Amino acid sequence: MNWRSFIVTLINCIVWSIQVIQLNGTGIKNLGRTRDSFRAVQVPQQFYDAIEQSDFSKHSLQNKLEHFLEKLQKNLTISAVLSDSEDIVTSERNYVYKMRELSTFFYEASFSFEQFSSDIQTFYETSKNASYALLFKLRQVPTGQPTLVKALLTNYFAEIEFFHVLFSEIIDDAMEYSTKSLKWIQELFVYYADTQNNILENWKLKTNLECCKLYVNFLQDQSSQIFKCATVDNLNIIYDVYSVTKLNIKYILRQLEFRIQRLFNCLLYNSPNIQCKLLKRAEKDLKTLFRNLSELDMFIDIKTKKGKAAALRFRRGNTWNSNQIKLEPNQNYCLPIGFPNTQMSTDLKECFYFLDNIV
């Protein structure tokens, strides 16, 4: 070996080893990046935050409505409304205060309905986004897979995409039902509170004992009827739909997360073990999830149809969908036609200066 060939060999060796180091380096780097994105295959934190928030506003709403009938009984007694004071001014002030307190309750409750509705909506939207985010992860599977694996991946991807579309549609159904129903109750409560304030401001009740008694009884009656009619059945359905949908969404998203992670694992380590077989049977792999989805769909369908049927049975007139409160009494089956006048006895009507002038 002469010097020349030795030097050439030496240079070749150096170049070769540099290439090896680079190759190893890039290999490791790629693996590292894949591992990072693999670690990121998870339901976004936003999803869990949204659940927490909607659970919280559900509890606030429940707290607000709790023991309403008992409180109504307790708050609206003649002795509570008309203080014992001999002083007419004090008595009057107390009366106005008590009347305001009742309408305030209905305003506050309507706000709780609105809050719950808005948080439910955010939660459902976030769930759809989370499902989409998982789907999107699957698109980022490391490139350079063999052709067969590529084909299987495409198939798997199509299945999950289809799943995502169904999932979103079902969530939209649950969302539409819940937000509409909650808005309906919210508007009723605001209307009822507005009506009370209107009577208080403009009708001018004669504040003798007899008239106060009649009016307090009227408020007791109407408040409890409207409250029961609007909340008892409707709210139970709304809570049911929320809980069951939430349970299913959580389960489904975790399962998707798990499956996609498993897929990444398999491709990453390219191990010929059982895990990779799931690629070959995408339909089977997702079968239970599709079944969960169809059960949820049926549940929502049955629940909301029942709710809708009850509402439609009594509803007259057109629907309302603007944000503004334009509730006409005959648009809500919990509100008797011609409310409040039609529900007042002749004796009670005679207690208002305002109606005196009309009748």
Gap between the Cα atoms of 297 and 290, Å rounded: 10
Count how many residues are written for the chain: 359
Nearer Cβ to ligand NAG (105/339): 105
Q: Which amino acid is residue 134, in one-letter code? A: L
Task: Count the residues of the shown chain that bind ligand NAG, applying the rule CB under 6 A.
Answer: 21
| Nearest-approach distance from CB 111 to ligand NAG, in angstroms | 13
CA distance linking residue 285 with residue 350, whole number of Å = 73
Shortest separation between residue 226's beta carbon and ligand NAG, angstroms: 12
- Asked whether position 68 contacts ligand NAG by CB under 6 A, the answer is yes
What residue spans of the chain are helical by DSSP H? 3-39, 45-65, 68-75, 78-81, 88-139, 147-198, 209-269, 282-285, 287-314, 346-349, 353-358
Distance in angstroms (rounded) separating the CA atoms of residues 259 and 257: 6
Considering only 51, 72, 96, 278, the residue that binds ligand NAG (CB under 6 A) is: 72
Site for ligand NAG in 239-258 (CB under 6 A): 247-248, 251
Per CB under 6 A, does 101 bind ligand NAG?
yes
**Whose Cβ is closer to ligand NAG: residue 129's or residue 330's?**
129
Near ligand NAG by CB under 6 A: residue from 150, 291, 305, 306: 291
CB under 6 A: which stretch of 3-11, 174-182, 279-287, 288-296 binds ligand NAG?
A: 288-296
In the complex with ligand NAG, the residue whose CB is nearer, 254 or 316, is: 254
Compare residues 171 and 335 and give the one whose CB is closer to ligand NAG: 171
Distance of CA 250 to the CA centre of its chain: 14
15-34 binders of ligand NAG (CB under 6 A): 20, 23-24
In 3D space, the residue among 346, 323, 134 whose CA is nearest the CA of residue 359 turns out to be 346
Q: Report the residue number, 46 or 330, with the smaller CB distance to ligand NAG.
A: 46
CB 105 within 8 A of CB 222: no
Rounded to whole angstroms, how far apart are CA atoms 260 and 264?
6
**118 near ligand NAG (CB under 6 A):** no
> In the complex, what is the shortest distance from the CB of residue 313 to ligand NAG, in angstroms, rounded to a whole number?
28
Q: In the set 57, 110, 115, 126, which binds ligand NAG (CB under 6 A)?
A: 126
Residue 3 to residue 201: CA distance in whole angstroms: 112
**With binding defined as CB under 6 A, does residue 293 bind ligand NAG?**
no
Selected binder of ligand NAG within 38, 105, 116, 242 (CB under 6 A): 105
C-alpha dist (Å) from residue 268 to 145, 153, 223, 263, 314: 10, 14, 64, 8, 60
Piece of 100-108, 141-149, 263-271, 347-355 that binds ligand NAG (CB under 6 A):
100-108
DSSP-assigned states of every residue in 290-306: HHHHHHHHHHHHHHHHH
Interface ranges with ligand NAG (CB under 6 A): 20, 23-24, 46, 68, 71-72, 75, 101-102, 105, 122, 125-126, 129, 247-248, 251, 288, 291-292
